[in-house]
């Protein structure tokens, strides 16, 4: 399925780019083609609808050799807040961000890691992780999966009060 995903990228990317949209990723399973689309400043539902209905679907119809045989579902969506990082340019865009990754081999006794992406080089990434923080070079070939980690810095909410109960301070 990886070959069909790269084939889809090659035919869909130029059309989305000409419409001011960025192809983030393509995932192909036995019955689904998932196309992740973004745009500078964020993507809205109208743009996703346009990408699906008028841009991507006709291209896939013209290239049935790239899609799963028979019936399949086309999903066009945004990459989301916690984005999968697959290509070197994905990693380069998120230098300075917190990421989570799973490696194919153990690094410091573990395969799952969380840290700050410090560098994105040609051969791999440098992640600052652990206590005390240490910088570790991870080859792209050693990464099973990686994604950004959303920072949810929300302020605590007040607890609701009923009747004449005393109001509580913020938690």
Which string of DSSP letters, residue by residue, matches 57-81?
Answer: HHHHHH-GGGS-SS--EEEEE---S
End-to-end alpha-carbon separation of the chain, Å?
49
What distance lies between CA 55 and its chain's CA centroid? 21
- 118/130 Cα distance (integer angstroms): 14
Question: For residue 168, is pLDDT > 70?
Answer: no
pLDDT tens for 19-67 read 999 999 999 999 999 999 998 888 888 888 888 888 999 999 999 999 9
Count of Cβ atoms closer than 10 Å to residue 2 Cβ: 9
pLDDT tens for 70-123 read 889 999 999 988 999 999 999 999 999 999 999 999 988 999 999 999 999 999
Q: Which domains does the chain have, with CATH numbers?
A: 2-77 (3.30.300.70), 88-148 (2.30.30.180)
């Amino acid at each position: 399925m990886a070959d069909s995903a790269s084939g889809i990228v090659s035919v869909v990317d130029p059309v989305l780019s000409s419409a001011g949209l960025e192809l983030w990723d393509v995932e192909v399973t036995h019955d689904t083609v998932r196309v992740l689309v973004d745009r500078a400043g964020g993507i809205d539902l109208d743009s996703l609808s346009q990408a699906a209905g008028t841009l991507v679907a006709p291209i896939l119809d013209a290239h049935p050799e790239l899609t799963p045989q028979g019936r399949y579902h086309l999903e066009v969506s945004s990459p989301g807040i916690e984005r999968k990082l697959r290509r070197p340019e994905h990693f380069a865009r998120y230098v300075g961000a917190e990421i989570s990754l799973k490696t194919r081999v153990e690094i410091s006794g573990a395969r799952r890691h969380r840290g700050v992406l410090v560098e994105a080089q040609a051969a791999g990434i440098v992640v600052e992780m652990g206590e005390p923080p240490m910088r570790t070079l991870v080859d792209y070939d050693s990464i099973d999966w990686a994604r950004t980690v959303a920072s949810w810095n929300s302020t605590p909410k007040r607890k609701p009060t009923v009747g004449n109960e005393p109001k509580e301070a913020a938690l």
